[in-house]
Amino acid sequence: MAHFEARTSTAGGQIVVTLTGECDLAVRDELTTVLTAATGDAAVVTVDVGGLLFLDSSGLHSLVTAHHRARADGRRLYVVNAGGPVAAVLEVTGVGNLLRAPADDPRLAG
């Protein structure tokens, strides 16, 4: 299995969580912890999945759960840079549409 890493940074007044490697059941708790902390600290959290090689249902669950928690608090969580098999999983499940950043959200870094 490829190494998983979740790095958090701040850019343009928002938190960016950059994911790399393989995101599966083995790292679900780590991902959930990182996303929960990020959505508690910023109005907008962008999750960059461009470095993910694999995303399974447990990773999807963490993303959707964090999205719902953020929305309940008037915050937003978006997923960007999906490609390859990760983009396919997001697309076929509808999660890609759910977490797609609107082009006109003024809180997104330009």
109 pLDDT exceeds 60? Answer: no
Rounded Cα–Cα distance for residues 73 and 101 (Å): 17
Q: Average the pLDDT over 34-55 and give the result.
A: 96
The answer on pLDDT for 32 being more than 80 is yes
Asked whether residue 104 carries a pLDDT value surpassing 90, the answer given is: no
The model's pTM: 0.91
Angle at 62 between CA 80 and CA 90, to 5 degrees: 45
What is the average per-residue pLDDT within 79-106? 92
Confidence at residue 11, expressed as pLDDT on a 0 to 100 scale: 81
Rounded average pLDDT over 54-62: 97
Distance CA 101, CA 77 (A): 8
The CA distance from 90 to 53, in Å, is: 13
d(CA 53, CA 30): 17
CATH superfamily to which 5-98 belongs: STAS domain (3.30.750.24)
Chain centroid offset of residue 94 CA: 14
In degrees rounded to 5, what are phi and psi of residue 108? -80, 140
